[in-house]
Structures are given as structure tokens and as C-alpha cells.
């Protein structure tokens, strides 16, 4: 599909941009452009894509996203590639997951090629916003929401698909530090048959109170248990978990519908297999976590996701008390997997899986 290009009336001056991307942090330094594609059932579905200036989106107060939360998103990154230009990491997997989320939220799927073309075009357009710093990337946020003005409860007939970018620095300032996590007692993230496997804003809205509780208990993040037995460890608010054991096995909770199928998770499973580890996708209980951490049968716990890559979990806290994992510092596996994944993304480690798309 041909894109309509709308010129920016006043792009950010070079010196202002350079100042903003020198230390961008995460999630606040936005680039100059955006891609917008309208969907209208009455007009045959997806309309002409537009690459234009980043600007506010006019919205009717009855737009159904504001009332019933039909909304999905993706989170991905563009990197500087060692052999020149930029690269994306497994963008087809994001496109496929976006459509899986769309199906769950009764939203229209977008042709994968259109999703990927939108991402490529905006990244190339705003490539100058790539921070030239260690750990720098362009964070890509594709999202879709119901824009139809209608207060009845049914799937909307009009949507907007949008892609924006932000300059992103190292997620963890001052290097990788183990996180301390709080085991939520009163709240769950997802229930069987719910929306836990979809990347939809409502899951995040529901996680904010338990996340605040975690902070109030001196922790960085909240970890959720399963909704039925309150026994099985599922995931953090936005990261999947791996348990690295002394016998050489690695366990990660299975994808049974309540866990978001992370692309970092999937990549780590493949990389661990390659390294000769036995990776088992099976339930892991909170009791087992404590016992194995205390006995030394558990060496490390890793949290993983696009934003933070691979991060060690140092301490787990709950009303029953705290326990630490390994030395409480960054373990060998966390270090090795993090370096390998970051190396792959930047074209410094051989891409045997065809995961890196240069653009």
C-alpha cells in the first residue's frame, strides 16, 4: 500500500534534538513523526496510511476506547547495527502478536506487511533520533484503539492504528542492578479465560495498584501469582520469568493464556537450548521458589522483556518475609544471556536464527 507523506511544518532543530537525545531516559523524548492508518468497516477496512508530523489526535468524547477500552499495543526497538544502518529484532513476531491481541479484543487484524511497513518507514524517517550512547535505541510503540463514537457495548466499526517512536537510553541507569520484587497477595494480573495473553492497556491499568503496593514495600516491581490457586508464579507486570537451577535445568512458566507470550522469552528459550540447557515450560510455585533459593538449588531468577532485556531478580518479598536468590547480585546466566541478546540485536553476535532485520 502506498503511504501518503505529509511534510512536517517545523521539524525539531538539530541542536535541540541532539540535546534531547543526549540522555533521553525512557518514554518522554518523542520524535517528530507518526504513522496513522484509519480503519472503517463501512469504507472497506484499512484506509491509506499516512506518515506525517506527530500531533494530537482529535477524538470524539463518545469514542468507544474511552468507555470500554478496546485498545492494544506493541513494544519493540530499533538498534544501531555494527555493519551500518539500523536493525529491528524479530519485528514479524510483534506483528503476529499484535494480531493475536486484536483477535482477543474483537478488533480488526492489520495485514502484517502493513504493520511492518509502518514500522520501517517511521524508523527510517526519524533515524536521526537514535541516541548515540551505550544502550541507546529507538523504542517503537505501535498501537490501535476504537475511535467510533458509540456508547453501545459491541465491537467498534472504526479504529486508528498509530506508530510513534521515542529515543530511549539505558533502561537501568548506572548499569544492571538486581531488582527486588513484591509478591502480590490481594491482586492478580490475569485469570484463565481473561485477557492476560493480549497486550492490552487494561491489563496494565489493573496492575498499577499492586505495583504501587510493591513500591510502598520498598520493592521495584510486583510479581503475580495465578488467579485460581494463588500458588504458581506467573510474571512481573511487564516481564517474563526464568528460574535457573543448579542441576542445569531452566524453568519458565508455560503459556496457558494468563501469561503474555514475550518475544524476549521465546528468544531466551531458543538461546538456552543452543547453549545446551534443558528448558522446561512448566509451572513453578512460590513455595518451590523460596525453598530452592534457600537450599541453593536455585542459582538465579531472570526477568526479561524488550524494555529491560534481561534483568536479575535479587530479592523476593511478601508478608511472609524475604528471601534472596544466589548472591543477590547479577548472576552468570543473566550476564551471559544479556550480553548475547544485546550483541545479536546490534549485529555483534552471529544471527543464526534470522532474527535481525536490517533497514
Ligand X SMILES: *Cc1c(COP(=O)(O)O)cnc(C)c1O
Q: Is 268 in the site for ligand X (CB under 6 A)?
A: no
Outline where 107-148 has alpha helix (H): 112-125
Q: Is there a contact between 194 and 234 (Cβ–Cβ < 8 Å)?
A: no
Stretch that binds ligand X, among 12-20, 179-187, 226-234, 255-263 (CB under 6 A): 255-263
CA angle 77, 278, 95 (to 5 degrees): 25
Least gap, CB of 170 to ligand X (angstroms): 16
Least gap, CB of 260 to ligand X (angstroms): 3
Touching ligand X, residues 44-83 (CB under 6 A):
75
Q: Is 239 in the site for ligand X (CB under 6 A)?
A: yes
State the Cα torsion 345-351-356-359 to the nearest 10°: 100
Q: Is 121 in the site for ligand X (CB under 6 A)?
A: no
Question: What is the DSSP secondary-structure string of 205-257?
Answer: HHHHHHHHHHHHTT-SEEEEEPTTTS-BEEEESS-EEEEEETTSEEEE---SS
State the Cα torsion 172-174-177-180 to the nearest 10°: -70
Give the residue, chosen from 70, 170, 306, 315, that forms a contact with ligand X under the rule CB under 6 A. 306
Least gap, CB of 294 to ligand X (angstroms): 27
Closest to ligand X by CB, 31 vs 306, is 306
Q: Is 188 in the site for ligand X (CB under 6 A)?
A: no
Touching ligand X, residues 139-158 (CB under 6 A):
none
Least gap, CB of 89 to ligand X (angstroms): 10
Closest to ligand X by CB, 63 vs 227, is 227
Give the residue, chosen from 235, 326, 334, 355, that forms a contact with ligand X under the rule CB under 6 A. 235
Separation in Å, CA 240 to CA 169, 201, 207, 263: 21, 17, 15, 10
Residues near 333 by Cβ (< 8 Å), separated by ≥ 6? Answer: 244, 250, 299, 300, 302
Stretch that binds ligand X, among 62-70, 211-219, 256-264, 311-319 (CB under 6 A): 256-264
Residues in the site for ligand X, rule: CB under 6 A?
A: 75, 199, 235, 238-240, 260, 262-265, 305-306
Amino acid at each position: 500500500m502506498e503511504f501518503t507523506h505529509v511534510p512536517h511544518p517545523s521539524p525539531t532543530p538539530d541542536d535541540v534534538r541532539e540535546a534531547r537525545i543526549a540522555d533521553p531516559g525512557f518514554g518522554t523524548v518523542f520524535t517528530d513523526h507518526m504513522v496513522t492508518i484509519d480503519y472503517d468497516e463501512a469504507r472497506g477496512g484499512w484506509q491509506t496510511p499516512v506518515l506525517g508530523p506527530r500531533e494530537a489526535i482529535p477524538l470524539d468524547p463518545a469514542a468507544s476506547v474511552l468507555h470500554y477500552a478496546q485498545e492494544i499495543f506493541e513494544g519493540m526497538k530499533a538498534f544501531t547495527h555494527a555493519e551500518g544502518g539500523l536493525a529491528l529484532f524479530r519485528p514479524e513476531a510483534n506483528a503476529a502478536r499484535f494480531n493475536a491481541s486484536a483477535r482477543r479484543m474483537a478488533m480488526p487484524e492489520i495485514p502484517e506487511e502493513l504493520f511492518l511497513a509502518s514500522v520501517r518507514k517511521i524508523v527510517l524517517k526519524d533515524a536521526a533520533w537514535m541516541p548515540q550512547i551505550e544502550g541507546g535505541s529507538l523504542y517503537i510503540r505501535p498501537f490501535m484503539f476504537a475511535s467510533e463514537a458509540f456508547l453501545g457495548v459491541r465491537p467498534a466499526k472504526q479504529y486508528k492504528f498509530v506508530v510513534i517512536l521515542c529515543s530511549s537510553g539505558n533502561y537501568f541507569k548506572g548499569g544492571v542492578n538486581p531488582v527486588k520484587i513484591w509478591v502480590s497477595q490481594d491482586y492478580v494480573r490475569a485469570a484463565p479465560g481473561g485477557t492476560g495473553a493480549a497486550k492490552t492497556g487494561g491489563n496494565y491499568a489493573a496492575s498499577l495498584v499492586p505495583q504501587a503496593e510493591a513500591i510502598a514495600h520498598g520493592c521495584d516491581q510486583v510479581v503475580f501469582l495465578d488467579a485460581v490457586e494463588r500458588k504458581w508464579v506467573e510474571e512481573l507486570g511487564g516481564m517474563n520469568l526464568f528460574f535457573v537451577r543448579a542441576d542445569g535445568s531452566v524453568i519458565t512458566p508455560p503459556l496457558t493464556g494468563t501469561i503474555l507470550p514475550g518475544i524476549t522469552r521465546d528468544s531466551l528459550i531458543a538461546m538456552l537450548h543452543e547453549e545446551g540447557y534443558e528448558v522446561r515450560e512448566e509451572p513453578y510455585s512460590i513455595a518451590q521458589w523460596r525453598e530452592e533459593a534457600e537450599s541453593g538449588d536455585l542459582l538465579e531468577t531472570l526477568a526479561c522483556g524488550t524494555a529491560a532485556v534481561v534483568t536479575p531478580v535479587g530479592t523476593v518479598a511478601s508478608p511472609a518475609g524475604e528471601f534472596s536468590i544466589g548472591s543477590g547480585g547479577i548472576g552468570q546466566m543473566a550476564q551471559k544471556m544479556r550480553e548475547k541478546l544485546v550483541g545479536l540485536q546490534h549485529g555483534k553476535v552471529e544471527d543464526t536464527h534470522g532474527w535481525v532485520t536490517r533497514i
